[in-house]
Amino acid sequence: MMANTSHDQNLRVAADWWMRLRDPAATERTTEQWLAWTDEDPAHLTAFERVTELAARLQALGEVSRERLIAEFAPPQASPRRGWIPAAAAAAVVLALGSVMGWQAMSGSVATQDYASAIATQRSVTLEDGTRITLGGATKLTTRFSSGRREVELSAGEAYFEVVHNARRPFVVHAGDVTIEDIGTAFNVRRTGSYVTVAMAEGRVRVADATGGSHNSLEAVAGQSVTYDPAHAAMNVTASDPAEAAAWRNERLAFDNEPLSVVVANINRYRAQPLRIADADLNTLTFTGTVKADAIDDWLQALPQVLPLRVGTVGGETVLSDAHPKAQPH
C-alpha cells in the first residue's frame, strides 16, 4: 500500500512539473529545480516520462476522444480496475493535462519560450512534447508550440535535437534560410550567420532552402550531412558518421572542408578570448579536422603548420593574419 501511495504521489508531482516547465513564465531556475527533483530518485524521472507519454497520447487525440479518455480515467470515483497508471493518480494526471490541452486547443494559443547557453557551456532542455534539445556553447533558440505545429528558431550556435515524432503536429527547425522538418529523427543543426550545417544521427529529415524555391529541397538520412552555403546556389550533401553528428557534446568540434571564417566563429563559442581574422584573403581558406574544446590553444599553436597564416595577439584578441602578406603599393 505504501509503495502505491508513493507511486501515485510521484505521478501527481510529475504532472505538476510537466505543466510548470511549459509555462511561458518558466525560467532557467525552473528547469534547474526540475532536474534536482529528477536526480533525487530514479522513480521521479520514470514518473515524469510516463506523464509525458500520457500527454503525447492526449495531444494526438481529437477533442471528443480526449474528453472520453478523461471521463474513463477520472470518473467521480476512480475504478481500481485500470492498471496502466494507478487510478487515483490517473485521475489527477489526466484531468490536469486534459484541462491544459483543452484550454490551449480552444484558445488557439502559441506558447513561446526562449533558451540560451553561455560561452563554452552546454545546456539540455526537455520540451512539452518530450523532445530533448542540447544546446552547444553560446547558442540561442526560441520554441513556438501550438496545438498543430512545433517550431524552433535557431538564432545562433548549435543544437542537437532528439525529436518525439508526431505526424499530426510537425516539428520544424528554422536556421536562417534553411528549414529542417522532422520525419522521426535525431539530428544536429549548426548555424553560423547564414551558413548552416545539418548532421544526421538517426532517422530522416526534410531540408529546404527558403531562397531556392520548392525545387531546392531534399531528404537526408542517418549517415548524411547537409551544408547550406549562401555563396552557392544549392545545398551540398556528404557522407558522415552518425556517431559524430554532435561530437561537440564530447568536447570535440568537428569541421569538414569548411571556410576558416566559419571555423573561427564556432571556435569563438568555446573560447573566452575571441579569435579574429585580420586579412580577408584568409576567408578563402578551408579547414578539415577536429578541435578539442578544452585544448583550443594547442590547436592554434599547430595551425600555422596546416594553413598559411600566423597567430598573434593584438589588444586582447587572438589574431590570424596572412603568413605572406602582399606588399603595399608605394
CATH code for the domain in which residue 169 is found: 2.60.120.1440
In a domain, 327, yes or no: no
So what's the pLDDT on residue 106?
44
* Whether pLDDT at 303 is above 60: yes
In a domain, 294, yes or no: yes
57 pLDDT band, cuts 50/70/90, is low
* Whether pLDDT at 71 is above 60: no
Q: Which helix (H) or strand (E) holds 191?
A: strand 178-192
3 state DSSP class of 88: helix
Residues 178 and 225 in one domain: yes
So what's the pLDDT on residue 93?
54
So what's the pLDDT on residue 68?
53
Mean of pLDDT values over 261-283: 94
What CATH number is attached to the domain comprising 281?
3.55.50.30
Domain tally, the chain: 3
Instruction: Write the pLDDT tens digit of every residue in 120-175.
Output: 999 999 998 889 999 999 999 999 998 889 999 999 999 999 998 888 889 999 99
197 pLDDT band, cuts 50/70/90, is very high
In a domain, 328, yes or no: no
Domain boundary pick from 107, 139, 166: 107
So what's the pLDDT on residue 81?
41
Residues 99 and 31 in one domain: yes
Residues 204 and 311 in one domain: no
Residues 130 and 221 in one domain: yes
Residues 228 and 273 in one domain: no
Distance CA(148)–CA(115), nearest Å, equals 22
So what's the pLDDT on residue 233?
67
Residues 211 and 131 in one domain: yes
Per-residue b or e along 180-199, where b marks 16 or more CB atoms closer than 10 Å to that residue's CB: bbbbebbbbbbbbeebbbbb
Q: For the chain, give the percent of residues with pLDDT over 90.
A: 50
Query: 34 or 105: whose pLDDT is higher?
Result: 34
Angle among Cα 244, 248, 251 to the nearest 5 degrees reads 120
In a domain, 229, yes or no: yes
Residues 80 and 205 in one domain: no
219 pLDDT band, cuts 50/70/90, is very high
Q: Are 272 and 120 in contact (CB under 8 A)?
A: yes
Residues 102 and 118 in one domain: no
Angle among Cα 184, 190, 193 to the nearest 5 degrees reads 135
* Whether pLDDT at 252 is above 50: yes
So what's the pLDDT on residue 216?
78
69 pLDDT band, cuts 50/70/90, is very low
Domain boundary pick from 86, 107, 128: 107
In a domain, 182, yes or no: yes
So what's the pLDDT on residue 244?
92
* Whether pLDDT at 4 is above 90: no
So what's the pLDDT on residue 67?
54
Instruction: Write the pLDDT tens digit of every residue in 104-115.
Output: 444 457 888 899
Mean of pLDDT values over 257-283: 94
So what's the pLDDT on residue 22?
65
Mean of pLDDT values over 278-303: 94
Q: Which helix (H) or strand (E) holds 125?
A: strand 123-126
Torsion sign (Cα): 193, 236, 289, 287 = negative
Instruction: Write the pLDDT tens digit of every residue in 235-249.
Output: 899 999 999 999 999
In a domain, 329, yes or no: no
Residues 119 and 194 in one domain: yes
Longest distance between any two alpha carbons in the chain, whole Å: 94
In a domain, 330, yes or no: no
Outline where DSSP puts E strands in 210-251: 217-221, 224-228, 236-239
For the residues of 141-174, what is the DSSP string, one character each?
Answer: EEEEE-SS-EEEEEEEEEEEEE----TTS-EEEE
Cell of 117: 547557453
So what's the pLDDT on residue 222?
94
Residues 257 and 233 in one domain: no
Q: Which domain holds residue 123?
A: 111-244
Mean of pLDDT values over 50-57: 67
Mean of pLDDT values over 257-266: 96
Domain boundary pick from 183, 209, 244: 244
Residues 223 and 256 in one domain: no
Residues 131 and 222 in one domain: yes
